[in-house]
Every structure is written in C-alpha cells, then in structure tokens.
A and B are shown apart, each in its own frame.
Chain A
Amino acid sequence: EAQVTQNPRYLITVTGKKLTVTCSQNMNHEYMSWYRQDPGLGLRQIYYSMNVEVTDKGDVPEGYKVSRKEKRNFPLILESPSPNQTSLYFCASGPASGPYEQYFGPGTRLTVT
C-alpha cells in the first residue's frame, strides 16, 4: 500500500531533550516536506527537500533540522525542544521536484512541557 508513515504518532517530552520524528514514504517520491499545524494558523512549512541531499528552509525553520540521506526518509530533528514547538506535525511527499500534489502522513502530536 502506497503511504507516508510517521513515528511516533504521539510524544510528550520535556524542554531541551533532543528528539527525532521519522518520516518514510514508499512511493519513490522525490519531494518531501515537513509542516506544523497550529489552531487558526493553517499548515506552515518547516523544511522541504526536492531530492536526496537537497534541503531548503520553509517559512518556520527555526529550532528544527532535517536530513535527506535516502530518498524514502526525511527525519525531523528538534535538538532542544521548547514549549512553543508543541504542535501537530505532518510529513508529506510528492511525485516530482516541483509544484505537484502532496500526500500527507498521519501526523505526530508533540507536546513539550
């Protein structure tokens, strides 16, 4: 089954404790992206990747890191999480390096206390 998976789906952590949210897709998509969703603010792009080893900042990259060493994986790293990073995070992938449709993962609800 073609899909985008994220792990973990739910996470409660404390300020400053490094964490990684994994994202994997099995559709051989070139494009991958991370978004955060907060009430009333829609989806805001954190980072995106047009292809392996190519990553770029979205609108809200501060406090986040990403890497794209393999085509299928695009982990999101929070080196020192803070309470303002409490949010719902979505990973997405798309079939080409360019403006095309995106397929979203199920989301990861992160709470930083």
Chain B
Amino acid sequence: GENVEQHPSTLSVQEGDSAVIKCTYSDSASNYFPWYKQELGKRPQLIIDIRSNVGEKKDQRIAVTLNKTAKHFSLHITETQPEDSAVYFCAASGNAGKSTFGDGTTLTVKP
C-alpha cells in the first residue's frame, strides 16, 4: 500500500520568514496530493492541492511543488504570519479512493 513520509515533524520560524514542509510517497499510482491545515481543536481544512500532471501550483502566499519522478512534493509558505501556526498534513491518493496522510508538521510562527 501507499506510504507517505512527512518532514519535519516540528518547524519553528520567525514571522516573515518562509516555511517548507516535505513529503515523499511510495505508490506511483497516486495522482492527487492535497495539503490540509488543522488548527488546535478544529477539523482539517484543505489549503492547496496538486495533481500529478502539474509540477507547481501557487495560491497567494502558499505554493506546492511536485516531483513525480522522485515521488516527493512540498508545501511552501512565504511571509509567514502568526495565524499560519497550525499542524499541516500532506496526503496522497489515487483513483481507487484510498487516501494516505503524513504524520503532520507542527508549524510555529514566532511574532
């Protein structure tokens, strides 16, 4: 089955700096790679996603890149703000419907 590894598990940055979270996956049949943000005590919410036929996608301060050959994808957050502090999860899924999540990265943005 699919295996998703996410690094780092914790990340602390200064406000205004950039943050990068990386994930690797094992199943070449996976073709959809979302990123979810979970604030303390709340449900995960989709912040950005990418499909296997695209190499990069950007939405304001967040971007995701995908290297299908190397089977890794990354989340980039620029100009971080304290409200970006949360747990971020990557995931990989394919047409069969199964979704595998990484273990999460706790991002702390210090004012």
Contact = CB atoms under 8 A, between A and B. Distances in A.
Interface of A: 31, 33, 35, 40-45, 48, 50, 56, 58-59, 90, 97-107
A98 B95 contact: yes
A97 B104 CA distance: 25
B64 to A, nearest CB: 13
A104 B38 CA distance: 11
Contacts of B32: 98-100
Interface stretch (B11-19, B40-48, B55-63, B70-78): B40-48
9 contacts: A42-B6, A42-B89, A45-B99, A48-B99, A99-B32, A99-B93, A99-B99, A100-B32, A104-B45
B84 interface: no
Interface residues on B, range: 20 to 34
Interface string B78-111: 0000000000010101111111111110000000
By CB atoms of chain B within 10 A, which of A33, A35, A102 has the most?
A102
Given A99-B31, A99-B93, A101-B46, A59 B1 contact: yes
B63 to A, nearest CB: 17
A33 B96 CA distance: 13
Contacts of A104: 43-45
A101 B43 contact: no
A33 to B, nearest CB: 7
A97 B6 CA distance: 26
